[in-house]
Amino acid sequence: MALDDLKTKDFAFVGTRPNRPDGLDKVTGRAKFGADAYAPGMLHGAILRSPHAHARILRIDTSKAEALKDVKAVVTRADFSDKVEFAPGLEGEFWNVLENVMAGDKALYDGHAVAAVAATSALAARDALKLIEVEYEILPHVTDVDKAMLADAPVIREGAADYSVPAGMHPNVVRMHESGHGDVAAGFAEADLVIEDHFTTEATHQGYIEPHACLATLGMDGKGELWCCTQGHWIVQKTCAALLGIETANLRVTASEIGGGFGGKTTVFIEPVALALSRKANKPVKLVMSRSEVFRATGPTASASMDIKIGMKKDGTLTAAEGIFRLQGGAFPGGPAEFTAMCAFAPYSLSNVRQVGYDVMTNRPKQAAYRAPGSPMAAFAVESVIDELCNQLGLDPIEVRLKNASREGTKASYGPRFQQIGLVQTLEAAKAHPHLSAPLKPGQGRGISCGFWFNHGGETSVSLALSEDGSAQVMVGTPDIGGSRASMALMAAEVLGIPYENIRVTIADTATLGYNDVSHGSRVTYASGLATIKAARHAVEKLCERAAKKWGIPVDAVKWENGCAVPSGPNAGDFDPLPLADITANMGQTGGPISGHFEATPEGAGVSFATHIVDAEVDPETGKTRVVRYTVIQDAGKAIHPTYVEGQYQGGAAQGIGWALNEEYIYGEDGRLQNSVFLDYRIPVASDLPMIDTVIVEVPNPGHPFGVRGVGETSICPPLAAIANAVSAAAGVRMRNLPMSPPRILSALKADG
Amino acid sequence: MNYHSPASFAEASRIAADASGITRFLAGGTDVLVQLRADIVTPDTLIDIKKIPGTGAITRNADGSWTLGVAVPGAELGEHAGLVADWPGVVEAMNLVGSTQVQGRATLTGNLCNGSPAADSVPAMVAASMTATVTGPNGDRTVAVRDIPTGPGKTSLAKGELVSALHIPPRGENAGDAYLRFIPRSEMDIAVVGCAVNLRLDGDTVVEARVSLGAVAPTVLLVEDAAAAIIGSTLDDAALDRLAAAASAACKPINDKRGTIEFRTEVAGVLAKRVARIAYARAKGEIIKGHHG
Ligand SMILES: Cc1cc2nc3c(=O)[nH]c(=O)nc-3n(C[C@H](O)[C@H](O)[C@H](O)COP(=O)(O)OP(=O)(O)OC[C@H]3O[C@@H](n4cnc5c(N)ncnc54)[C@H](O)[C@@H]3O)c2cc1C
């Protein structure tokens, strides 16, 4: 749905690069993160975790821990609501979350919480855990997605599959998605070359710097306060209330500053546990995860096993595409199989396409969103095959992508027709970029890839209040995970016509603003931005009313220009412009405080595409890869604050480099996670990365007043494929399994002879 | 936990000899304190050796040998021009440990006594024929560095014994040493394979060599076949190939999260060649700055 009042040029504030409002606090250490909260009489919590991948919990004896003087409460599953009901698939998501934050009958993965303690110090709590006795009956486990689908695989939980799964599949397959159009068999028959191949990716973690942390207070009266590090405090409020069996409104949740989330902080892990401990101890309880707990027991992304088949004509025309995607999402439904399937072929206009996704459970932690959940792995598989088709047919990879690119009006592989989109523009920009024609050194290879993400709208509320001196405060409900306060202030400044510095944007708590969906789906600058613009326009309407009243003319004879009310035309009367601050100065006497509001679920998020170009160098003797040059080209619709848009582009590429080259969850035969610290979970360090160049393409999104599309997630869609194509070119062998770690590359080189 | 900061090694030894339970010496603490905080090892007795006079000293002796105090951090080794000129391999190996922050604390002695098979400085110390003075209840003894680690997390030091100084022999003429490690990243990682070479030339010919490997066996390896492969050669391609083969043949690695058996075995040979070339160039008087990975 296009907005009739789309503004795409002549901006005064939008598109500038002022300092972020939270910048000083963050560089001076004054910003308060999750673990920075303290309360009088506060206790420290610690969580006992299963060392087993799969085990029945026969008995938990907490008596020795409870006997300690420093221990004030011990909780197990019995201390949570018994009203939360199990249901298949995602229907019973509260039950799934409850089961994940505190095990019931079975421990389902290494690291699964089984009990928790609150004590007078963090050390005392940690030591008390050692006195809790748990008797386990160890069960067979499975951590690999393909093995979990085999007939003899241990069943994680009977009855978890929903209606979408056909009869006869293993009970670990809990959801299935199938979509497409045309006749793929006929399409393959038309092709001059058909390539069919198999690809895998490993689970990776978002790797946010800040571990989960919270401070919880829940009184006997059922009223609670929760301070926590989250991407969305209303979902925390709703979920915790359900899990604790209290009314939502009785729990007030405040979001701390956040040290990264990338999707991993869109759900709860420790918050309900801290609340349960607080309720039992009748004291505030602080819980802070260690890094090892973060790896073992929060939500990494899904791992994937994928089969891709694509047909191409000699001239590069794609004739058909088919993909089967198996996503491993841990011991619960929710692996993003449908997103993987739907994103896989979205960049291309295809007459014949079919995609199938399976959501598969294993004995691993419950996956969580990670930047465009499901899309990067799909792009890896699909874009690798397209690269191989281009190689074998001797075609230019950019020209082939341009030839087949989705455009306005294309029927998307996943169903709808695309509106105004920017894929072609990113490809044209890639073609024109000096990177694409720069010479490569021996041992280097170049790869490109496109990527796609839907973007999201979601429930949104914003309030904007004017002060007597003409400054403005904006209350938004989406935690600032990427500089969004700066973008909100710029958009409000644009509408109100007052300086950026005179606008303070606050992330309001759950008690002071209406419901807001999480900061996810690249929705914040789009949805909270749209709501901020609308709230500011609402305030402007009231400002115009006051001017009309003062001038004694009808309100429709007044318009708003450069921060002033002015007569809308010569016939409206001859009045001097009335600045905002002159109206607010005595607003108490002219009708009361002036505020603007907006609440809605905007649905015009506008999909987004990117094209990445990567040069990689492979040491043929050790298999070690260095990314030597990287260019991100992505459609932002409209870059409100270009620096923070570039930051999102670079961040996605940096995380993609880690995912492609060295990051992986490594499980032992015993089903235990082997590498739960940053030493062995090999996220890139600064010196591993080249400067990541960015190009912002702007094809306005008709669904946002200023044309914004979300940019946070699309940036991680192309990297896996672009890097794999570059590494495959450099090494001279096709790399089909991520991560492309040195041992894997070296053995591929050896196998190739 | 009891914390002590004795004023002499004899006193430190006595405290350790009398202690029960788990004892740790506190040099830089970059292993001890990390293990404590991660709930891996909580010592009953912690003996800080940094207050003992002389533990921070780097001394060049009259015969050209060096004596290093047991609390000298990596950063100070790296800033000591004389030591870097004599033993660039030992210094670069220690300087690879951790980050700038870790370098301000971490010591050679701690790296050695922590007993990690992947410890970076240990192959370089072994290639350099370094020795340690060990103080114990019965006085001092001198031990080859090579004989201190006995397995992952284990050393040959008896109860009540601690290292009280490290010694590097005189450098002598026409000699050079070097260390390289393989890590998948560019820094802040643990060696998948480490290799040190220390050699001496007569003209263009290698006349003495020591080759050692880390992270490919339960303890550091001194590979005599690898040294023999290059002694008498001018480090020509054939000699380098023999060196690589001998280094790979000596490996007894495991498959783990950091690398596979095949990978470690193969890369040990690759690194041996690369390290030998650097040591050779240094023996010829070239200045080659420390490498990372
Ligand atoms: C972030 C980080 C990165 C790291 N990176 C690396 C790396 O790249 N390569 C690497 O090899 N290591 C690395 N380490 C491990 C560690 O820094 C090194 O092993 C370091 O050299 C230990 O020295 P230390 O002085 O801090 O030892 P400490 O922690 O003080 O002691 C270590 C051990 O030595 C014993 N000890 C200390 N002094 C004596 C003595 N005089 N006599 C007998 N025993 C003694 C202690 O009892 C203890 O068991 C890293 C550590 C961290 C935290």
Domains parsed from chain A with CATH numbers: 6-31+457-600 (3.30.365.10), 374-455+606-752 (3.30.365.10)
Q: Is B258 on the interface with A (CB under 8 A)?
A: yes
Rounded to an integer, the average pLDDT of A98-102 is 98
Give the model's pLDDT for residue B292: 45
Nearest CA owner, ligand 1 atom 25: B28
The pLDDT tens digits of the residues spanning B125-160 come to 999 999 999 999 999 999 999 999 999 999 999 999
A746 interaction partners in chain B (CB closer than 8 Å)? 262-263, 266-267
Cβ pair A679:B189 closer than 8 A: yes
- Among chain A residues, the shortest Cα distance to B98 is held by A679
Whether A249 has a pLDDT exceeding 60, the answer reads yes
CA distance B98 to chain A (A): 10
Rounded to an integer, the average pLDDT of A212-238 is 97
Cβ pair A746:B187 closer than 8 A: no
Q: Is B277 on the interface with A (CB under 8 A)?
A: no
Q: Select from A624, A661, A674 the Cβ nearest to the Cβ of B257.
A: A674
Q: Who contacts A619 (Cβ-Cβ below 8 Å, separation ≥6)?
A: A443, A625, A626
Residue A3 confidence class, pLDDT cut points 50, 70, 90:
very low
DSSP for B224-237 reads HHHHHHHTTS---H
Most informative mutation of B22, B25, B148 for ligand 1 (most atoms within 8 A of CB) = B25
Q: Is B270 on the interface with A (CB under 8 A)?
A: yes
Q: Which atom of ligand 1 is nearest to the CA of B33?
A: 29
- B175-283 folds as Enolase-like; domain 1 (3.30.390)
Give the model's pLDDT for residue B291: 57
Give the angle B199-B200-B204 at the CA atoms, nearest 5°.
110
Q: Is B241 on the interface with A (CB under 8 A)?
A: no
The pLDDT tens digits of the residues spanning A508-526 come to 999 999 999 999 999 999 9
CA of A123 to the centre of ligand 1 (A): 24
Most informative mutation of B3, B41, B46, B102 for ligand 1 (most atoms within 8 A of CB) = B102
Best CA proximity match to A35, nearest among A260, A226, A214, A257: A214
Residue A536, amino acid: A
Which segments of A139-289 are extended strands (E)?
A: 173-181, 193-201, 213-218, 224-228, 251-255, 285-288
Q: Is B259 on the interface with A (CB under 8 A)?
A: yes
CA of B108 to the centre of ligand 1 (A): 8
Give the model's pLDDT for residue A4: 53
Based on C-alpha coordinates, what's the Rg of chain A? 27
Rounded to an integer, the average pLDDT of A638-651 is 98
Could you tell me if the CB of B195 is within 6 A of ligand 1? Answer: no
Q: Which of B34, B180, B260, B292 to mutate to test the interface with A (most CBs of A within 10 A)?
A: B260
Residue A492 confidence class, pLDDT cut points 50, 70, 90:
very high
Could you tell me if the CB of B34 is within 6 A of ligand 1? Answer: yes
B291 interaction partners in chain A (CB closer than 8 Å)? none
How far, in Å, CA of A470 to CA of B175, rounded? 76
Q: What residues does each domain of chain B span?
A: 2-116+131-168, 175-283
Would you give per-residue pLDDT tens digits along chain B (293 residues)? 999 999 999 999 999 999 999 999 999 999 999 999 999 999 999 999 999 999 999 999 999 999 999 999 999 999 999 999 999 999 999 999 999 999 999 999 999 999 999 999 999 999 999 999 999 999 999 999 999 999 999 999 999 999 999 999 999 999 999 999 999 999 999 999 999 999 999 999 999 999 999 999 999 999 999 999 999 999 999 999 999 999 999 999 999 989 999 999 999 999 999 999 999 999 999 998 875 43
A745 interaction partners in chain B (CB closer than 8 Å)? none
* Torsion sign (Cα): A238, A239, A240, A242: positive
Whether A2 has a pLDDT exceeding 90, the answer reads no
Give the model's pLDDT for residue B234: 98
Based on C-alpha coordinates, what's the Rg of chain B? 19
B259 interaction partners in chain A (CB closer than 8 Å)? 742-743
Give the model's pLDDT for residue B293: 39
**Is ipTM > 0.85 here?**
yes
* Torsion sign (Cα): B41, B47, B48, B53: negative
How far, in Å, CA of A481 to CA of A479, rounded? 6
Give the number of beta-carbon pairs within 8 Å between A and B.
Answer: 58
Q: What is the mean pLDDT of chain A?
A: 97
B187 interaction partners in chain A (CB closer than 8 Å)? 685, 687
Whether A68 has a pLDDT exceeding 50, the answer reads yes
Alpha helices in A63-105 (DSSP H): 63-66, 93-101
Q: Indicate the class that CATH gives domain B2-116+131-168.
A: alpha beta
CB-CB contact of A628 with A444 (8 Å) = yes
Give the angle A628-A634-A635 at the CA atoms, nearest 5°.
170
Nearest CA owner, ligand 1 atom 23: B110
* Other CB atoms within 10 Å distance of the CB of residue B162: 24
Rounded to the nearest 5°, which phi and psi values hold at A587?
-65, -25
Cβ pair B267:A747 closer than 8 A: no
Residue A156 confidence class, pLDDT cut points 50, 70, 90:
very high
Could you tell me if the CB of B27 is within 6 A of ligand 1? Answer: yes
Could you tell me if the CB of B68 is within 6 A of ligand 1? Answer: no
CA of B116 to the centre of ligand 1 (A): 9
Give the model's pLDDT for residue B289: 85
pTM: 0.97
Rounded to an integer, the average pLDDT of A109-133 is 98
Whether A708 has a pLDDT exceeding 70, the answer reads yes
CB-CB contact of B110 with B28 (8 Å) = yes
Pairing label, strands B139-144, B131-136: antiparallel
The pLDDT tens digits of the residues spanning A573-629 come to 999 999 999 999 999 999 999 999 999 999 999 999 999 999 999 999 999 999 999
A290 interaction partners in chain B (CB closer than 8 Å)? 38
Question: Tokens 């114990």 sit at which residue?
Answer: B136
- Among chain B residues, the shortest Cα distance to A130 is held by B39
The pLDDT tens digits of the residues spanning A392-439 come to 999 999 999 999 999 999 999 999 999 999 999 999 999 999 999 999
Residue A352, amino acid: N
The pLDDT tens digits of the residues spanning B71-105 come to 999 999 999 999 999 999 999 999 999 999 999 99
Most informative mutation of B5, B15, B31, B120 for ligand 1 (most atoms within 8 A of CB) = B31
CB-CB contact of B181 with B194 (8 Å) = yes
How far, in Å, CA of B149 to CA of B17, rounded? 20
